[in-house]
Amino acid sequence: MTFWERHPGAFEGISDIPPIAPNSLFRTVVTAYENQNLRGTVGVLAYMNGEQQHGASAERLFPRLSDGSFENHSKRLKTTIGDCDFCFLVNHLEFLDESLWRWSRDFLSGLFQNVGMNSLGVFYALFFGTYRTTPFGVHRDPESVFHLPVIGTKQMRIWPIDAIDPNSPIVHSMDYRHSLDRSVLLQANPGGFIYWPSRHWHTGEGAGELTVSLALSLFCFDSLEVALATQLVKSLVAEHGDLKQPVRKHHRIPFDPTNLQRTSENLPDHLHQAAEELRQHVSDEALIVGWLRLCSASGFLTPPQQRRHEQIRPQDKVSVVPGDAALYRVLRPGLTAVAVNGHVTMTSCPGVGDMVQLLCSNSTHSVQSLLDALSSSDKSPTMLQDALNVICHLIRSRALNRISDSAD
Ligand SMILES: [Fe+2]
């Protein structure tokens, strides 16, 4: 913990194995490529000899299930394309890999306990390929990073914050041979990790051998306002920024170029409306819900996606996944938010907190016993259905498993 946001460092033998088995990671990467349009949640980039590839050019490079492994994928590229430097980058893999997210939650718990949560948001960036230096060259990020090798020996060259002038030509350059002063070359193998604090200049280095490594990235903005605004912008763009949607009429803001004074004196209604909507996003209730979501996701912005729709009946049984705590906050009379593993649902069911608390007391429950725990005197069919919906939410969010019934 003495390194956190102070010094870079390399650590070996933290565990016997990397956070995820290479073959399992490979399958997740292929899934990421096939699902990269999931509302922009998972980002996939391919570089060849330092140049980003697009369209068909990128498509021919990316791993396919038929490759079977990172090593075979690398061999295919060498056979079909020749001796080129390849670098692939996949963001937010935790969205597709529940076990990776659970491992990370445990990995970060000691850090959060000792130094508190970073501000705000955690995500994974996966790097793999035979590249000799990061294709976007020497750069810095607002994230504190734990770089976890999965295959091969990972090397990172790191400079202190003040070692490089932001206007220097080596920024984003892949040629920094004459700027090694004050840099340190760190390396780690699977089971260990390299750490560097936010804003430290860095680039990956390699000798042309295949490396696969996960960058567990923790945003460390100086200002909580910037952190909050960044998350808000991302969620708004994800929700409304789909360029395939038709242009809406209210984008036409009244503007008279022949009378700018009069135009400037009339603040468009649309701006008023937009400001009001923004205020709703940072209302006390919205902040409580956002914090609930972040707490239940161990800081991750894109926790594992929910399962598809599940149905549950009072006569069913459920088992509790150890470590997956359901959280709740009463927002106002008649409205409670329930969160687990980064997913929030709203319910009007009064007393749902008693049901959530009961969940923690045992490893298995009958659904009927959970419904019986509702403290409310109002156990109308509508309320019971509302409570069943909360249980379904917990199952879809992977915190509960429905125990199959032989009578089904
Ligand atoms: Fe970086």
Report the C-alpha gap between 194 and 155 in whole angstroms: 8
67 pLDDT higher than 60: yes
CA of 277 to the centre of ligand 1 (A): 34
Task: Report the greatest alpha carbon distance in the chain.
Answer: 77
Q: 104: which DSSP letter? A: H
Quick one: pLDDT at residue 9? 97
> Which distant-in-sequence residues (6+ apart) come within 8 Å of 244 by Cβ?
none
134 C-alpha vs ligand 1 centroid, how far in Å?
Answer: 9
CA of 384 to the centre of ligand 1 (A): 49
Cα–Cα distance for residue pair 90/62, rounded to 1 Å:
11
Strand partners, 124: 216
pLDDT category at 376 given cuts 50, 70, 90 is low
pLDDT, position 407: 47
Q: Which pLDDT belongs to residue 115?
A: 94
Contacts of 219 (CB under 8 A, 6+ apart): 118, 119, 120, 121, 122, 142, 143, 198, 227, 230
Mean pLDDT of the chain: 90
- Residue from 141, 140, 147, 137 nearest 211 by CA: 147
Least confident interval from 105-114, 163-172, 200-209, 229-238: 229-238
> Given its phi and psi angles, is residue 239 left (phi above 0), alpha (psi -120 to 50 degrees) or beta?
alpha
If you measure from the C-alpha of residue 219 to the centroid of ligand 1, how many angstroms do you get, rounded to a whole number?
A: 12
CA angle 111, 116, 119 (to 5 degrees): 110
* C-beta of residue 404 within 8 angstroms of C-beta of residue 315: no
For ligand 1, the distance from its centroid to the CA atom of residue 179, given in whole angstroms, is: 18
44-48, 129-133, 226-230, 376-380: range with highest mean pLDDT: 129-133
Q: What is the distance in A from the centroid of ligand 1 to the CA of 102?
A: 24
Interval 126-130 mean pLDDT: 97
Question: 262: CA distance to ligand 1 center in Å?
Answer: 48
- 118, 220 Cβ separation under 8 angstroms: yes
**Portion of the chain with pLDDT greater than 90, in percent:** 72
Strand partners for 364:
319
**How much distance in Å is there from the Cα of 60 to the middle of ligand 1?**
25
Where do we find the tokens 């230096």?
133
> Comparing 61-65, 246-250, 322-326, 361-365, which segment has the lowest mean pLDDT?
246-250
**Average pLDDT of the residues in 129-141:** 96
Distance of alpha carbon 393 from alpha carbon 406, whole angstroms: 23
Fold of 9-219: Jelly Rolls (2.60.120)
Report how far ligand 1's centroid is from the alpha carbon of 208 (Å).
19
More confident residue, 274 or 39: 274
59 C-alpha to center of ligand 1: Å?
Answer: 24
- Contact present, 116 and 195 (Cβ < 8 Å): no
- Between the CA atoms of 75, 81, 84 and 89, what dihedral angle is there, to the nearest 10 degrees? -70
Distance from C-alpha of 356 to C-alpha of 150, rounded to nearest angstrom:
37
Question: 62 pLDDT band (50/70/90 cuts)?
Answer: very high
* pLDDT class of 408 with cuts at 50, 70, 90: very low
Which residue type does 164 have? I
Residue 78 pLDDT exceeds 80: yes
- The DSSP 8-state label assigned to residue 65 in this structure reads G
Task: Say what the pLDDT of residue 185 is.
Answer: 97
The confidence score (pLDDT) of residue 308 equals 87
Report the share of the chain in percent with pLDDT over 70: 94
Which helix (H) or strand (E) segment is 231 a member of?
helix 224-240
Is residue 262 classed as helix, strand or coil in its secondary structure?
helix
pLDDT at 188 (0 to 100): 96
CA 145 to centroid of ligand 1, rounded, Å: 8
Tell me how far the alpha carbon of residue 74 lies from the centroid of ligand 1, in angstroms: 23
When comparing pLDDT for 27 and 351, which is higher? 27
- String of b and e for 64-87 (b: at least 16 CB within 10 Å)? eeebeebeebbebbeeeeeeebbb
Give the number of other Cβ atoms within 10 Å of residue 118's Cβ.
22
State the pairing for strand pair 51-53/400-403: unpaired
Q: What is the pLDDT of residue 243?
A: 57
Distance CA 138, CA 159 (A): 9
Which of these ranges, 4-8, 63-67, 242-246, 288-292, has the smallest mean pLDDT? 242-246
Average pLDDT (200-217) is 96
Name the strands in the sheet holding 400-403, side by side, starting at the edge strand that comes first in the sequence.
364-366, 317-320, 400-403
Q: How far apart are CA 22 and CA 233, in angstroms?
A: 34
Q: Sign of the CA dihedral 57, 59, 60, 63?
A: positive
Q: What are phi and psi of 314, to 5 degrees?
A: -55, -30
- Angle, helix 70-80 to helix 22-34, in steps of 10 degrees: 60
- When pLDDT is averaged across residues 93-111 and rounded to a whole number, the result is 93
- The C-alpha angle with vertex 187 and arms to 5 and 207, in degrees rounded to 5, equals 135
Q: Which of 59, 107, 121, 166 is nearest to 302 (CA)?
A: 121
Q: Mean pLDDT across the stretch 125-138?
A: 96
Is the CB of residue 276 less than 8 Å from the CB of residue 68?
A: no
Cα(137) to centroid of ligand 1, in Å? 9
Tell me how far apart the alpha carbons of residues 230 and 228 are, in angstroms, rounded to a whole number.
5
Task: Please compute the mean of the pLDDT values over residues 105-132 and round it to a whole number.
Answer: 94
Q: How confident is the model at residue 233, as a pLDDT?
A: 87
> What's the pLDDT score for residue 362?
84
Query: How far is the centre of ligand 1, averaged over its atoms, from the C-alpha of 78 (Å)?
Result: 26
pLDDT tier, 248 (very low <50, low <70, confident <90, very high otherwise)? low
Q: How far apart are CA 298 and CA 353, in angstroms?
A: 21
Task: Give the distance (Å) from ligand 1 centre to CA of residue 394.
Answer: 35
- Two tokens at 186? 């760190």
Centre of ligand 1 to C-alpha 120, Å, is: 17
